[in-house]
A and B are shown apart, each in its own frame.
Chain A
Amino acid sequence: MAVPVQKTDNVTPLPSPKASAKPAEIVALPARRSEGRGRKIVDRLKGIAATTVPPLLVLGVLLMVWQIGFARPGASLPAPSVIWAEAKDLILDPFFVLGPQDIGLGLRVLTSLERVAIGFGLAAVVGVLLGALVGQSIWATRGLDPIFQVLRTVPPLAWLPISLAAFRDANPSAIFVIFITAIWPIIINTAVGIRNIPQDYRNVAQVLRLNTFEFFFKIMVPSAAPYIFTGLRIGIGLSWLAIVAAEMLTGGVGIGFFIWDAWNSSKLSDIIVALLYIGVVGFALDRLVAAIGNLVTRGTSAS
């Protein structure tokens, strides 16, 4: 016991000369404080640059390789310079309207997004409810889970003929395909989240005599929220994958049909621009759901 006491006695005087030296330095350099602030801004800019410069560099290199590889006449795919020349109006003005079928890509994406919003919204509500049922009841699990496991492996487009036959209209069919694509991960993840609700929370609910409704909204949903949002995030990604394929077949003004139409009129540049739009929007959707999830589940993780 005596040794550490001695040590601390020895250590305590040591930092004091350093501490007295430090303020002396700061006092000597008051004029450079603004520089310090400037440095902070520089540091922040450096941080931003560290995340943005590498992808931009890679993008630049890729574009260059692409340009060099496909610049010769008779190349199978257009080079970036050709795309810019042919599809400049599509890139620069996403929201022009020149006729019922001649509209900007931004507007096309919006119509596709509307379908995804309806289909995914329905899938979210139904998926969470069904997931809660499956997670809560052992008999619902036994009855429904095998069916879910089989149906979820059916590719989205395989549903399209059936839904076209059932709805007899392109738009609800596309929405149904989105719905049926997005719902499985939502159901399965919600069910896992519900099964993982700690017995303690259930006991609290029982002691308080919460009814089914209160239990669902006050215990189940918040407790399973991280799982639910994992399912939603997978679901929105799958929806966006499915909408393009569905629209290619159903027609209309969505971004998917635009690609099909461009292919039929050999406008490869338009297709490549459309792919860019789809990628960026899909990325934004994923980040949006993740951000909402982070916001909602802020307090849920730690005990």
Chain B
Amino acid sequence: MHAYLKLDHIDKSFVRGGQTTEVLKDISLTIDQGEFVSIIGHSGCGKSTLLNLIAGLTQVTAGAVLLENREVNAPGPERAVVFQNHSLLPWLTVYENVKLAVDKVFSGKKSRTERHDWIMANLDLVQMAHARDKRPSEISGGMKQRVGIARALAMEPKILLLDEPFGALDALTRAHLQDSVMDIHARLKNTMIMITHDVDEAVLLSDRIVMMTNGPAARIGEVLAVDLPRPRKRLDLVSDSRYIAAREAVLRFLYERHRLVEAA
């Protein structure tokens, strides 16, 4: 069976004012359908750039992104993105934000009532149906991110891309949302790729953790398979030896072998 998503020898460099900066160098990775993969690395290592390449928001310099053997070179709803800062449109209500996506993706495929039901189903999935008529400014950061996830899921994406989705949230809200994402992943069996800088988050959620070396010209340093059984419970894992070992492996990679010298 061929790979679902394939990153084939990707290079990415930015040219600014005649100066070329190599950001990513020779990135190759295959991801199976239904897999949850985290990409972790120090800030500035190009992990968000990598996600943007998969999303099609930026173009590769060399190599290719292949989804089901088709090359990706433009953004599209089959690779929905949950943005770091939620990116809800402030002039639309929660419902309308999801509706914008659903109307665009399913116009002509679903009737008006089907689309309404689908919007509500996705808001229910993230437990935000009660706030459907609120505007983003009237709900908390965690709630905004829930709506962002609902909007992305409502596109029925082949791959859900999460760009540090919980980075701006406090620890308790973050734990809540991590549980929600695990629950959704278990139910819908989506393929998910998450950018993170949180080791615990990566180990808790992922099937595999992709560790990036520091830039410029960042590469994939190591890929760690996390063979913890699902469903995972954060409290049970605290003392689980496999969890501790995985956590240690990532920490060692980040702080021993690829320490970020500037970030002191």
Which residues from chain A sit less than 8 Å from chain B, CB to CB?
A: 198, 200-201, 203-204, 206-210, 214, 218-219, 222-223, 225, 297-303
Is the interface on chain B under 10, 10 to 19, 20 to 34, or 35 or more residues?
A: 20 to 34
* Bound complex: CA A198 to CA B137 (Å): 16
Q: Which residues of B contact A210 (CB under 8 A)?
A: 104
B80–A207 CB distance below 8 A = yes
22 example contacts (A-B, Cβ-Cβ < 8 A) are as follows A201-B87, A203-B75, A203-B81, A203-B83, A204-B89, A206-B56, A207-B57, A207-B76, A208-B155, A214-B104, A218-B100, A219-B89, A222-B89, A223-B91, A299-B91, A299-B92, A300-B90, A300-B91, A301-B90, A302-B90, A302-B136, A303-B90
* Bound complex: CA A141 to CA B166 (Å): 38
Nearest chain A CB to B17 CB, angstrom units:
16
Q: Is B85 an interface residue (CB 8 A)?
A: yes
A299–B135 CB distance below 8 A = yes
Q: Which residues of A contact B91 (CB under 8 A)?
A: 222-223, 225, 297-300
Which residues from chain B sit less than 8 Å from chain A, CB to CB?
A: 55-57, 74-77, 79-81, 83, 85, 87, 89-92, 100-101, 104-105, 135-137, 155
Q: Which residue of B lies closest to A207 (CB)?
A: B75
Q: Which residue of A lies closest to B157 (CB)?
A: A207
Q: Which residue of A lies closest to B136 (CB)?
A: A303
* Bound complex: CA A18 to CA B135 (Å): 39
Nearest chain B CB to A294 CB, angstrom units:
13
A207–B137 CB distance below 8 A = no
Nearest chain B CB to A198 CB, angstrom units:
8
* Bound complex: CA A222 to CA B137 (Å): 15
Q: Which residue of B lies closest to A222 (CB)?
A: B91
B90–A299 CB distance below 8 A = yes
**Beyond A207-B57, A299-B90, 11 extra complex contacts between A and B, CB < 8 Å:** A203-B57, A206-B75, A207-B76, A207-B155, A208-B100, A210-B104, A223-B89, A225-B91, A299-B91, A302-B90, A302-B137
* Bound complex: CA A219 to CA B91 (Å): 10
Q: Which residues of B contact A201 (CB under 8 A)?
A: 87, 89
Please pick, from B55, B80, B137, the residue contacting A299 in the complex, using a CB distance under 8 A.
B137
Query: Interface centre among A208, A222, A302, by most B CB within 10 Å?
Result: A208
Nearest chain A CB to B193 CB, angstrom units:
14
* Bound complex: CA A203 to CA B83 (Å): 9
* Bound complex: CA A200 to CA B82 (Å): 11
Q: Which residues of B contact A218 (CB under 8 A)?
A: 100
Given contacts A214-B104, A303-B136, contact A207 B90 (CB under 8 A): no
Q: Which residues of A contact B56 (CB under 8 A)?
A: 206
Count how many pairs of residues, one from A and one from B, have CB atoms less than 8 Å apart in the complex.
Answer: 64
Q: Which residues of A contact B87 (CB under 8 A)?
A: 198, 200-201, 203-204
Given contacts A203-B57, A299-B135, contact A208 B81 (CB under 8 A): no
Q: Which residues of A contact B77 (CB under 8 A)?
A: 207-209
Nearest chain B CB to A119 CB, angstrom units:
29
Nearest chain B CB to A26 CB, angstrom units:
33
Please pick, from B75, B90, B137, the residue contacting A209 in the complex, using a CB distance under 8 A.
B75
Q: Which residues of A contact B135 (CB under 8 A)?
A: 299, 302
B79–A207 CB distance below 8 A = yes
A208–B90 CB distance below 8 A = no
* Bound complex: CA A298 to CA B136 (Å): 12
Nearest chain B CB to A146 CB, angstrom units:
23
Q: Which residues of A contact B79 (CB under 8 A)?
A: 207
B136–A209 CB distance below 8 A = no
Q: Which residues of B contact A200 (CB under 8 A)?
A: 83, 85, 87
* Bound complex: CA A274 to CA B105 (Å): 58
Q: Which residues of A contact B85 (CB under 8 A)?
A: 200
Q: Which residue of B lies closest to A225 (CB)?
A: B91
Nearest chain B CB to A1 CB, angstrom units:
20
Q: Which residue of B lies closest to A209 (CB)?
A: B76
Q: Which residues of B contact A219 (CB under 8 A)?
A: 89
Q: Which residue of B lies closest to A296 (CB)?
A: B91
Q: Which residues of B contact A206 (CB under 8 A)?
A: 56-57, 74-75
Q: Which residue of B lies closest to A297 (CB)?
A: B91
Please pick, from A209, A223, A301, the residue contacting B104 in the complex, using a CB distance under 8 A.
A209
Q: Which residues of B contact A303 (CB under 8 A)?
A: 90, 136-137
* Bound complex: CA A219 to CA B89 (Å): 8
* Bound complex: CA A210 to CA B155 (Å): 13
Nearest chain B CB to A207 CB, angstrom units:
5
* Bound complex: CA A218 to CA B104 (Å): 11
